[in-house]
Structure 1
Amino acid sequence: MGLIKQIGNEITFLRAALRTLKKATTIRENTTHTFADTAEELARTKPNNIAIYFEDRKITYREYNEAANRYARWAKDQGLGRGDVVALMMENRPEYLVAWLGVIKAGATAALINTNLTKGPLAHCLNISNANHLILGAELAENYSTASDQLERPMAVWATGGNVQGANNLDAALEQQSGDALPGDFRAGLTTEDDALYIYTSGTTGNPKAARIPHVRLMTMMAAFAAAANTNEKDRMYVVLPLYHSAGGVCAVGATLTVGGSVIIRQKFSATNFWDDTHKYGATLFQYIGELCRYLLNTDKHPKETKHKLRMVIGNGLRPEIWPAFQKRFKIPHILEFYGATEGNVALMNFDGTQGAIGRVPGWAKKKFNVEIVKFDIENEKPVRGPDGFCIAAEPGEAGEALGRISNDPDQPTGRFDGYAKKEETEKKILRDVFEKGDEWFRTGDLLRQDKRGYYYFVDRIGDTFRWKGENVATSEVAEAISVFPGVKEANVYGVHVPGADGRAGMASIVAENGSLDLDRFRDQMQKELPDYAVPVFVRLQPEIEITGTFKHRKVELVKEGFDPSVVPDPVYFNCPVQKKYVPVDQGLYGQICAGAMRL
């Protein structure tokens, strides 16, 4: 890196970090100011600014606030206030933001339910929320019906957007309420330590957990993104991510709804309509998940793909292999990649846009941040401890688990860990006696590495990285190599058990153009790009890869199915060391591999 560029990066980091830390500190100092107060203030000072664009609708700050006031009065009529929880299950639309704002205006907590859930997982989320009332979008009535008989307590269901058999008519109830300003004592006693939201983890490896989002955390997350993007009232954030998750429903909307700007809501992401939308609404910002960027790159050229007003895109999971192509093709001025989890206390931002990095903490700023990377035992899935019983800091460039020191120190505003609705789940994420007796650290469950300049890079999720031939295989790095091979649209990499073999053999589930792949060329390419132990032993060709509602690849079922042709409905191929090519796995070959007759 040239000296001038390096100095520029230092200045960029300093300015952005100072803005972010200053906002976070201000929020911590004001213990009674919540997002409800911010919304009310903007309704007074910028009443005619457009808060929300949705399809052909425009909702001003005055209208947004008045609609939320109706929800707040409705909640009070149900006897809801501090300590009470209302579950919210609705697809993306303006009423979603109105509903949870109204709930927190009443001093209660909104539990944001994943709209993709049904049956047991949905019942689990509703049960652990402790909510007695559910705001239900009529479009999700069938989902709810699959779980209603598994609820642990009766729940009053309030339907909106249509009639639902057995449910109360919420729209009719709201029409009876006033949208006028709320009395000054409406949420008396509420502080920023009270819970505003419950946001659920994705549940890729088990039932989701309800992460507590106190008002102070909600405001800090919103303010951090507003500060990092340096937003103002002229900005318009395009939101296609689900509003039930923190990335779309808190960080993205908060970046503009805290400064008088606009959010552009789309019900669901559409690569086909993306550039038409950004052009139509004049979007200046877009919040991504890495896979969305890949989907856009896989589309045909669009006449408006460079005729946009986007000044910055913000998100996480943009893989290094597509970063430059994405930025160049669509002429994106600035990419702000970040790292963080809904409930976590490790927050990183790549302010200067260095390709592939998820954030940076230069040495001179380390005391302001609470993150450390420690050596990690992949096989036993736990941090390595030295002879003194304490963890060992990873060397520059070495992958290890990222930990966040838990503290309420105002000088380290990211140090809070508010945990989950269930205390036993909170305890599982805390690691004690890390560097000194009695200290407490949040376990991210992620392997990161940091270079000598302070840039952090994502390596893999713990549990995804596996051992094979005595070496650690990072699934993300293998997927990166696969993704750039011609004809590959998506790749999901994981390890599978082979009887009698140590560790797990690498397997890649691939979505290919036209459903086929030149496996001979693919094998040659993988052998050039990857060490021998990381070349996939098995390849599965799928028509599509199953993802979570937040666009994360599902792996649990794929791992269970393994490479057994009697279980797997798709073609599976084996990297045969004898024929030196990928060959189809039939029942005979499967038996040979399991019996140890085929050398791996």
Structure 2
Amino acid sequence: MRLKARLEREWRFLRSLRRTLGRVKSIATDSPNLICDDLQAAVEKWRDRPAMTFEGRTVSYGELDAIANRYAHWGKGLNLRRGQAVALFMPNRIEYFCAWYGLSKIGVVTALINNQLTGAPLAHCLNISGASHCIVDAETAPAFEEVKAELESPMHEWILGDARGEQRDLVQALKSCSQLPPDREVRAGMTARDTCLYIFTSGTTGLPKAARITHVRAQLYMRGFAGSTGARADDRIYVALPLYHATGGLCALGAALLNGGSVVLKKKFSASNFWEDVVAQDCTMFVYIGELCRYLVNQPEHEAETRHKIRMAFGNGLRPDVWAQLKRRFRIPDILEFYGSTEGNVSMFNFDGREGAIGRVPRYLRKRFNIRLVQFDVETETPIRGPNGFCIECGPGQIGECIGKIGGDARAEYTGYVDKAASDKKVLRDVFEKGDAWFRTGDLMKQDAEGYFYFVDRIGDTFRWKGENVSTNEVAARLQEAPGVQEANVYGVEVPGADGRAGMAALVTDEAFDLAAFGEHVARELPSYAQPLFLRMMPAMETTGTFKQRKVDLVREGFDPGQVKTPLYFRDPDKGYVKITKTVFNKITAGGYKI
């Protein structure tokens, strides 16, 4: 029986892998076929089928294309040339996809700006985009207006809404533009190696960087998920993730639109309305980021949560502790977890639903994948090299950095960031032989004997304390099992006179939380070196637009009650967690505690 189950699992894995590779094998960097050609082919095949629904409005494939064509002709009318950029700074709406799809038809690059940004981070992203035009709506226009003085060069503001002052009326401008596709000659000579989009990193540890998304990379995302999900023309995919991010804006849209299916697009995610909306919209799939799923399982039970037609949830970052709850409580038949980075050349899928695994590369297919794990020194944050000067590959169960060999074919190409210096920092050279080059993911993982990969932590998030490596990801998972803990964000902070960094946890709690019981949970569930020395109570956790927890401000403010206004606690060696007053803080920093 065990052998039969194993054979069935292998068959499922190989079938899914073959289906995915079948959709991407024809992609080539020197091909004149661009992502807009893939989408145009879908339009011709399913012109009259519903393509996208948003806030009660549904448009067909043909109507979606007509809107995109207006954007293409609008760009031509501005004399925008191939390779030039337009910034797109809006929340989710039908026109969002149409704008970049249309501009790609004339070779113009679209910079997808996080619509939640304001101030210096927004100005930074607009400046590095190199755009001379920015598309906004009524919601984002005020934030754009506030940073105009910080822009390095003039940028025309086009608004989908009422134009005021120096704003230009995009609605009126588009009305005068043709709905017919622009002549293909306008992109003659372009290849899939040319840039299609700029997608920005989330900025969890600093200012965002602009990743260069070529037509090849966009095709890999969209075609890859069209194959890996097994989506069909009768599928309706629920997308509540922001379209400025690759998971929602490329992976999910590709799964639907390249298969004749429909996208049910939401302006933003709502945990309390999620299942009711999924049922009402007759959805069959949804795309997730791990934190989205945790919000769902933390919601009170709802009668609609098992009345849905969802047959698959797909996405990345799903924590093992949430995985089982999501699948069983909501009765979701299949979960497709994947791993990938916006700027990198490493991607993998967990096709057979092994809980907690982010992907799999079985030993018998090892040569077909460019993925390896190398031993890593957490203190120096560099891969370990042996006596021969080369890196050392990890064995089963060993934690190391995931790297991807850089090659010339579409799947192994590394396009990096707009900033060349930032791109070069992500390349590891002379890894296993002289002259080879590998992309550094910045992620620590481990692999088991069957080839399943498991995410451990981001490099920089893992810290060293008492001579041991502490994974913030693993500690946070344990803390969230404690009664009353809704969210936990773990990081390392410096303590004067101590080596390494001490663990600190920012917590969002409810009425079930008890500090003494939490201290007992910590002592029982975690080894001494991994037990948070400091706690910070938060009313809500600050996250990025893709639900990633921000750490940079938390690390900077540390455990100083002069900087932090919410309650802080210190794990006293004799008393357990005690409140940090100015007196306690001074005693800690003066070395008055044995820690």
Structure 1 stretch 472-481 or stretch 20-29: which is displaced more?
A: 20-29
Shift in Å, 1:29: 7.7
Specify the alignment match of 2:535 in structure 1. Answer: 539
Structure 1 stretch 521-530 or stretch 247-256: which is displaced more?
A: 521-530
Specify the alignment match of 1:598 in structure 2. Answer: 593
Shift in Å, 1:182: 3.0
Shift in Å, 1:45: 2.3
Specify the alignment match of 2:301 in structure 1. Answer: 301
* 8 Å contact kept, 2:30–2:193: no
Shift in Å, 1:180: 2.2
**Hey, what's the Cα distance between the residues in 1 that align with 2:258 and 2:81?**
24
User: What amino acid does structure 1 have at the position aligned with 2:85?
Assistant: V
1:166-205 mapped onto 2 (5 Å cutoff): 166-205=166-205
Structure 1 stretch 380-389 or stretch 181-190: which is displaced more?
A: 181-190
Shift in Å, 1:421: 1.3
* 8 Å contact kept, 1:369–1:414: no
RMSD of aligned C-alpha atoms?
1.3
Specify the alignment match of 1:488 in structure 2. Answer: 485
Shift in Å, 1:23: 1.7
1:588 matched to 2:583: yes
Specify the alignment match of 1:362 in structure 2. Answer: 362
CA deviations on 1:524-580 (whole Å, 9 max, x unpaired) are 22222111111111111111110011110011111111111111111111111122x
* 8 Å contact kept, 1:505–1:536: yes
Matched position secondary structure for 1:489: strand
User: What amino acid does structure 2 have at the position aligned with 1:327?
Assistant: K
**Hey, what's the Cα distance between the residues in 2 that align with 1:148 and 1:4?**
64
* 8 Å contact kept, 1:561–1:567: yes
Specify the alignment match of 2:65 in structure 1. Answer: 65
Shift in Å, 1:35: 2.5
CA deviations on 1:501-529 (whole Å, 9 max, x unpaired) are 11111111110013x72122112222221
**Hey, what's the Cα distance between the residues in 1 that align with 2:2 and 2:341?**
33
Specify the alignment match of 1:549 in structure 2. Answer: 545
* 8 Å contact kept, 1:466–1:472: yes
Shift in Å, 1:376: 0.6
**Hey, what's the Cα distance between the residues in 1 that align with 2:24 and 2:356?**
26
**Hey, what's the Cα distance between the residues in 2 that align with 1:65 and 1:388?**
57
Specify the alignment match of 1:497 in structure 2. Answer: 494
**Hey, what's the Cα distance between the residues in 1 that align with 2:371 and 2:382?**
17
Shift in Å, 1:131: 1.1
Matched position secondary structure for 1:136: strand
**Hey, what's the Cα distance between the residues in 1 that align with 2:360 and 2:594?**
44
1:230-249 mapped onto 2 (5 Å cutoff): 230-249=230-249
1:28-427 mapped onto 2 (5 Å cutoff): 28=28, 31-409=31-409, 413-427=410-424
User: What amino acid does structure 2 have at the position aligned with 1:480?
Assistant: A
* 8 Å contact kept, 1:51–1:262: yes
With over 3 angstroms needed to count, the CA separation of the structure-2 counterparts of 1:531 and 1:61, relative to structure 1, is same
**Hey, what's the Cα distance between the residues in 2 that align with 1:250 and 1:39?**
12
1:444 matched to 2:444: no
Matched position secondary structure for 2:503: strand
Structure 1 stretch 22-31 or stretch 383-392: which is displaced more?
A: 22-31
**Hey, what's the Cα distance between the residues in 1 that align with 2:54 and 2:247?**
19
User: What amino acid does structure 1 have at the position aligned with 2:582?
Assistant: Q
**Hey, what's the Cα distance between the residues in 2 that align with 1:431 and 1:56?**
49
**Hey, what's the Cα distance between the residues in 1 that align with 2:3 and 2:164?**
64
Shift in Å, 1:593: 1.0
**Hey, what's the Cα distance between the residues in 2 that align with 1:271 and 1:86?**
33
Specify the alignment match of 2:558 in structure 1. Answer: 562
Tell me which stretches of 4 or more aligned residues in structure 1 moved more than 3 Å: none
Q: Where do 5+ consecutive residues of structure 2 fail to align?
A: none
Shift in Å, 1:333: 0.5
Q: Where do 5+ consecutive residues of structure 1 fail to align?
A: none
* 8 Å contact kept, 1:239–1:248: yes
**Hey, what's the Cα distance between the residues in 2 that align with 1:301 and 1:253?**
29
Shift in Å, 1:398: 0.9
Shift in Å, 1:184: 3.9
* 8 Å contact kept, 2:29–2:192: no
Specify the alignment match of 1:478 in structure 2. Answer: 475
* 8 Å contact kept, 1:138–1:163: no
Specify the alignment match of 2:524 in structure 1. Answer: 528
Of the three residues 460, 485, 507, the one matched with 1:463 is 460
Matched position secondary structure for 1:444: strand
CA deviations on 1:419-472 (whole Å, 9 max, x unpaired) are 111211111111100111110000101100001110000000000001111100
User: What amino acid does structure 1 have at the position aligned with 2:549?
Assistant: H
Structure 1 stretch 218-227 or stretch 23-32: which is displaced more?
A: 23-32
TM-score (norm: length of structure 2):
0.98
Matched position secondary structure for 2:198: strand
Shift in Å, 1:100: 0.7
**Hey, what's the Cα distance between the residues in 1 that align with 2:361 and 2:572?**
45
Matched position secondary structure for 1:456: strand
* 8 Å contact kept, 2:35–2:216: no
With over 3 angstroms needed to count, the CA separation of the structure-2 counterparts of 1:139 and 1:9, relative to structure 1, is same
**Hey, what's the Cα distance between the residues in 2 that align with 1:392 and 1:164?**
61
CA deviations on 1:235-272 (whole Å, 9 max, x unpaired) are 11111111111111111111111121111110010011
* 8 Å contact kept, 2:560–2:585: yes
Shift in Å, 1:122: 1.3
Taking every aligned residue pair, what percent have the same amino acid on both sides?
51
* 8 Å contact kept, 1:39–1:61: no
* 8 Å contact kept, 1:141–1:164: no
**Hey, what's the Cα distance between the residues in 2 that align with 1:340 and 1:29?**
19
CA deviations on 1:115-152 (whole Å, 9 max, x unpaired) are 11122211111111111111112210111122111111
User: What amino acid does structure 1 have at the position aligned with 2:555?
Assistant: V
**Hey, what's the Cα distance between the residues in 2 that align with 1:162 and 1:287?**
33
User: What amino acid does structure 1 have at the position aligned with 2:507?
Assistant: I
Q: How many residues align?
A: 595
Matched position secondary structure for 1:431: strand
Shift in Å, 1:30: 7.8
Shift in Å, 1:227: 0.7
**Hey, what's the Cα distance between the residues in 2 that align with 1:3 and 1:595?**
62
Structure 1 stretch 161-170 or stretch 232-241: which is displaced more?
A: 161-170
User: What amino acid does structure 1 have at the position aligned with 2:443?
Assistant: D
**Hey, what's the Cα distance between the residues in 2 that align with 1:354 and 1:2?**
16
Shift in Å, 1:284: 1.1
Structure 1 stretch 43-52 or stretch 430-439: which is displaced more?
A: 43-52
* 8 Å contact kept, 2:293–2:326: yes
* 8 Å contact kept, 2:206–2:552: no
Structure 1 stretch 458-467 or stretch 27-36: which is displaced more?
A: 27-36
